[in-house]
């Protein structure tokens, strides 16, 4: 695996692959890699000849008081994991390379609708930071395909809209959530959890499963979501949001069948997110009480 930090070197390296007619896949990451990231690399390998992973803790997507300075940085271990996973190129630029004049005057990419509410509501400017850095990476790498995890469901929706609206010739692939044996969605921020909090954390997924079963039976959406919030509070979580949206993140209505439960909650110092697909029943039960 080649590790590159310079933009010009990245471009010249990828141009060589392109001239040989090789298909390129991109896996954007912020490092501190786990099995979920490696699943993205494996998916990318299935869809391309050359796999490029980026490793960049993007300051633009962190708000005031968030964990930019404390975000875990494990570069050597990440290099080793990517090499063993069969990654071909690791692009790990410095912030000064992508933002040479700083953040304040840097062009920003805003994706409306998809980035509003949910994480976009509780983390103002977050998705502008995501869409800006992903646009830069797409421009620098010019991949044929890019892989993103479905755990960050709203982020995936933002990226899909970004690519569609700007007519980028990039196939976006969502990769299913990778979970620990007890159901907890893998996340770099799980490392913030104490041993006691780690034993509690799987209750987020467990609660979503209980709510899914109730909603698929036709129980009231409003009361079911309230029960879920109460259960999370009782378990020690501080819910940020717990919502049911249609699969495109629009509001649920009486015709909605494919829906998604989305949750974000603080547990100690960690902000955990998760989601689960829901097949709503037909008839008035689909929106009863909502």
Query: What CATH number does residue 234 fall under?
Result: 3.30.1300.10
Q: How far is CA 232 from CA 66, 132, 225, in A?
A: 22, 33, 11
> What pLDDT, on the 0 to 100 scale, is given for residue 202?
98
Does some domain include residue 274? yes
Does some domain include residue 25? yes
The reported pTM is 0.93
> What pLDDT, on the 0 to 100 scale, is given for residue 285?
43
d(CA 27, CA 162): 16
> What pLDDT, on the 0 to 100 scale, is given for residue 282?
85
d(CA 66, CA 140): 28
Which domain range does residue 115 map to?
Answer: 2-175
Tell me the residue length of the chain. 290
Rg (CA), the chain: 20
pLDDT mean values, one per 10 residues, the chain (290 residues)? 98 97 98 97 98 98 94 96 98 98 97 95 96 98 98 98 98 98 97 97 98 97 98 98 96 95 97 98 54
Does some domain include residue 135? yes
Q: How far does the chain reach from its first CA to its final CA, in angstroms?
A: 52
Active-site residue list: 37
133/38 same-domain check: yes
- Among the residues of 125-202, which ranges form H helices? 126-141, 153-165, 195-200
> What pLDDT, on the 0 to 100 scale, is given for residue 248?
92
Domain count of the chain? 2
* 43, 147 contact by CB (below 8 A): yes
């Amino acid at each position: 695996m080649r590790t590159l930090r310079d933009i010009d070197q990245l471009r010249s390296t990828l141009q060589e692959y392109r001239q040989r007619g090789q298909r390129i896949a991109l896996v954007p990451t912020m490092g501190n890699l786990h099995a979920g990231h490696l699943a993205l690399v494996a998916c990318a390998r299935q869809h391309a000849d050359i796999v490029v992973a980026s490793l960049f803790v993007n300051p633009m997507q962190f708000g005031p008081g968030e964990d930019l300075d404390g975000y875990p940085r494990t570069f050597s271990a990440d290099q080793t994991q990517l090499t063993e996973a069969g990654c071909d190129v690791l692009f790990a630029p410095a912030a000064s390379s992508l933002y040479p004049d700083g953040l304040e005057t840097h062009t920003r990419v805003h994706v409306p609708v998809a980035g509003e509410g949910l994480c976009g509501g509780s983390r103002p400017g977050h998705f502008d930071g995501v869409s800006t850095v992903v646009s830069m990476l797409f421009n620098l790498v010019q991949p044929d395909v890019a892989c993103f995890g479905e755990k960050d469901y709203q982020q995936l929706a933002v990226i899909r809209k970004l690519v569609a609206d700007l007519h980028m010739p990039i196939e976006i692939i969502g990769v299913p959530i990778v979970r620990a044996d007890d159901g907890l969605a893998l996340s770099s921020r799980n490392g913030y959890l104490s041993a006691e909090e780690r034993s509690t954390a799987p209750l987020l997924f467990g609660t979503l499963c209980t709510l899914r079963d109730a909603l698929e039976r036709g129980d009231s959406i409003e009361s079911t979501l309230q029960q879920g919030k109460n259960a999370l509070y009782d378990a020690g979580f501080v819910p940020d949001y717990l919502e049911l949206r249609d699969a495109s993140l629009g509001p649920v209505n009486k015709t909605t069948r494919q829906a998604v439960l989305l949750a974000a909650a603080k547990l100690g110092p960690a902000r955990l997110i998760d989601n689960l697909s829901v097949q709503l029943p037909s008839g008035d039960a689909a929106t009863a009480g909502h």
